[in-house]
Amino acid sequence: MILHESADVSSRSGKSRVTRSQKEVLKTWIAAGLWIILIAIESTSYLSMANTSRFLYPILHFLFRMDRAHFRIWHHLIRKTGHFVGYFILSFLLFRAWRATLPLTSRWAMRWAAIAFFMSVVVASLDEWHQTFLPSRTGLFSDVVLDSTAALVAQVVIMILESWWSGRRSEKESLVAR
């Protein structure tokens, strides 16, 4: 693990020294942790469907002259898109954090993708379970499925992009070698 790279973490002046790689690991976990906090905040009563419709309806009505019937459909789609995007980003951030924590020579590893995916599923499950205790919220299994799908799609996209980038890198290296 990277965190034990420098056994001497304090200098003679008493200040702690953190290596560059330790800082990178810490930054990736802070980003993932902050995203989880954002998800937890979005899971509160403050961002329930009733509360978000209070500010979204006037905006959409003003911009698009949207009536209440059409707003209900769009409001639902906006909220579900928020789920998908939120858990896609969480899965991506967790992948980065695990890649920094458990370094390998490759840019993509099934281990990082699997851990990131399953952690995202756990967060989604806890999020929906938490909502079952709030009168203004409903914890739905279908939301866990949607969130898990977003996490899986994120991992597939990362795998495809890393594969593409490594292929392009190999092409450039072979051109330079000529």
> Does residue 15 fall inside a structural domain?
no
Per the listing, tokens 């959409």 go with 60
Which among 82, 81, 94 has a CA at the least distance from the CA of 36? 94
> Does residue 1 fall inside a structural domain?
no
> Does residue 11 fall inside a structural domain?
no
> Does residue 14 fall inside a structural domain?
no
Q: Per residue in 72-118, pLDDT tens?
A: 999 999 999 999 999 999 999 999 999 999 999 888 999 999 999 99
- Give the residue with greater pLDDT, 70 vs 8: 70
> Does residue 178 fall inside a structural domain?
no
> Does residue 59 fall inside a structural domain?
yes
Domain that holds residue 148: 20-173
pTM for this prediction: 0.84
Q: 17-26, 67-76, 160-169: which has the minimum mean pLDDT? A: 160-169
Q: Describe the chain by its helix, strand, coil percentages, rounded to 5.
A: 80, 0, 20
CA contacts within 13 A on the Cβ side of 151: 26
Q: What's the number of domains the chain is made of?
A: 1
> Does residue 97 fall inside a structural domain?
yes
Strand partners, 10: 16
Per the listing, tokens 């370094």 go with 103
Q: Using DSSP, state whether 79 is helix, strand or coil.
A: helix
Q: Which string of b and e fits 59-88 if b means at least 16 CB within 10 Å? A: ebeeeeebeeeebeeebeeebeeebbebbb
> Does residue 91 fall inside a structural domain?
yes
Q: Per residue in 140-177, pLDDT tens?
A: 999 999 999 999 999 999 999 999 988 777 666 666 66
Residue 99 · residue 155 · CB < 8 Å: no
